[in-house]
Amino acid sequence: MVRSSSARWLPSATGADAVTLVNGVRTLVLVGVLVTVPLAQPHLGSGPRGIALAVALGLSAVSWITWLLSGRSTHRMIAALAVMGVAGGVLAGLSPLSTAPAVGCVVAAASGVRLTTETSLAITAGTVAAFLTAGLAIGAPAETLIGYPLAFIGLWAFGLTRHAYLLRAEQAERTLAETRRAHEAESHAAALAERSRIAREIHDVLAHSLAAVSVNLQAAEGLLGALPEGSPELARAIECIERAGTFTREGLAEARRAIQALRDDAAPLADQLSALAGEWQADGDVPVDFSVSGSPRPVPADVGLAAYRTAQEALTNARKHAPGQPGRLCLEFSAREIAVQVVNGLLPALGEDGPLAEGGTGYGLTGLRERAALSGGTLTAGPADGEWDVCLRIPA
């Protein structure tokens, strides 16, 4: 009863706070019984009835304290409530005009709330039997012999109602939690299915269109190659077609990587960056050493794509501005984030750019910073210790 009232009056209190409050109230009730019962008739230790009253009060106090300290131990709780019920019933029968019946009331209500119906019924029946035995022994009035047992039984029935309510509430909470988890799993599965569908559609469109462009470029190159040699315009046209074919193949490869990032079966980030470093190493322009630190783990698709694009852009800038300079690509896994770092040597003459430096738009790093910010990360780029350092840190 106190527990339900505290939950209603203090909705913001935590479970630990509610338990502390309830135990505090129970302790106050025990103190009240221990203080007031000795003041009533008969006095403790005065004759056989007083001695029996003292023994019953002592057993009630010890078992009450044991009950408060039982915690989640069901067996200890049952034993404490059973002893407290018998001792409290005797105490109420020997001193019915004091606060002694409060012990039996607490036992009946608490056993109904916390224990099974059979166990709580046995404890309540023991309490009533002990009360009637002591009451009949001292010749208690009939109204007392009838009234207090009815009070014990009524509080036990209230405890059963409260017990059923708590069971329904726990079941409702479990059902709600399971429903929420099922909804989240369904939403996640739907999102993955939609991403896979979009990836398939984009792949079909780009694969067919770019493949067709590549085939036509190859056909045009073959037709132009059959014409008489010696014309500079012809050589320039063949060169443009070859470059367009290269761009087409590279664009198709990039499209496949981006599509793979949309799918839930994308390769691990470490494998993707290792393959990227291998491609740059195979070109021979910028030797790249790849390393992984920390414990590799799966990362979200947008985080993996941001990390891959950062490494790709940084390596491209290294090829443009410092061709031939060695580079390092590092992937670091920490507890709450990942870091992708690309470091390359600077040209001997500061400010001297490579022959491809003018080929870009100048917005590559800006776009990477914006991409990192969208995922909650940060990107830094600048010279450090005679090298150019690009570092992306992003939560994952």
CATH of the domain at 303: 3.30.565.10
The amino acid sitting at 314 is: A
* DSSP H or E segment with residue 391: strand 387-395
What is the model's pLDDT at position 342? Answer: 93
The percentage of the chain sitting over the pLDDT mark of 70, rounded to a whole number, equals 76
- 323 within some domain: yes
Token pair belonging to 54: 């003292």
**Residue 381 three-state SS:** strand
| DSSP code for 14 | -
108, 140, 172: which is the final residue of a domain? Answer: 140
- Domain range for 390 is 267-396
* DSSP H or E segment with residue 345: strand 337-345
The residue among 236 and 150 whose pLDDT is bigger is: 150
109, 124, 140: which is the final residue of a domain? Answer: 140
- 154 within some domain: no
Whether residue 389 contacts residue 381, with contact meaning beta carbons closer than 8 Å, is answered with: yes
DSSP secondary structure string for all residues of 159-182: HHHHHHHHHHHHHHHHHHHHHHHH
Return the number of other C-beta atoms located less than 10 Å from residue 272's C-beta: 21
- 364 within some domain: yes
What is the number of domains present in the chain? Answer: 2
For residue 117, list its beta bridge partners: none
Cα–Cα distance, 117 to 83 (Å, whole number): 18
Cα–Cα distance, 123 to 82 (Å, whole number): 5
| pLDDT tens profile 2-60 | 444 444 434 444 556 667 887 888 889 989 998 998 888 888 888 889 899 999 999 99
140, 163, 184: which is the final residue of a domain? Answer: 140
- 272 within some domain: yes
- 252 within some domain: no
Return the number of other C-beta atoms located less than 10 Å from residue 223's C-beta: 10
Return the number of other C-beta atoms located less than 10 Å from residue 325's C-beta: 19
The residue among 361 and 51 whose pLDDT is bigger is: 51
- 218 within some domain: no
Cα–Cα distance, 241 to 214 (Å, whole number): 10
| Alpha helix stretches (DSSP H) within the chain | 2-9, 15-36, 47-68, 74-94, 101-114, 117-138, 142-225, 232-262, 269-283, 301-321, 364-374
Q: Which residues contact 206 (CB under 8 A, 6 or more apart)?
A: 252, 255, 259
Whether residue 54 contacts residue 100, with contact meaning beta carbons closer than 8 Å, is answered with: no
Cα–Cα distance, 87 to 130 (Å, whole number): 8
Return the number of other C-beta atoms located less than 10 Å from residue 350's C-beta: 8
In terms of Cβ atoms closer than 10 Å to its own Cβ (0-12, 13-18, 19+), residue 229 is exposed
226-241: average pLDDT: 68
- 91 within some domain: yes
- 171 within some domain: no
Of the pLDDT bands very low, low, confident and very high (cuts 50, 70, 90), residue 354 is very low
What is the model's pLDDT at position 124? Answer: 94
| pLDDT tens profile 144-198 | 999 999 999 999 999 999 988 888 998 999 999 999 998 888 887 787 777 767 7
| pLDDT tens profile 108-133 | 999 999 899 999 999 999 999 999 99
CA distances from 176 to 8, 12, 236 (A): 21, 20, 70
| DSSP code for 322 | S
pTM of the model as a whole: 0.48
Token pair belonging to 381: 């780029």
Strand ranges of the sheet holding 378-384, from the earlier edge strand across to the other edge: 288-293, 327-333, 337-345, 387-395, 378-384
Residue with tokens 């291998």: 278
Q: Which residues contact 348 (CB under 8 A, 6 or more apart)?
A: none
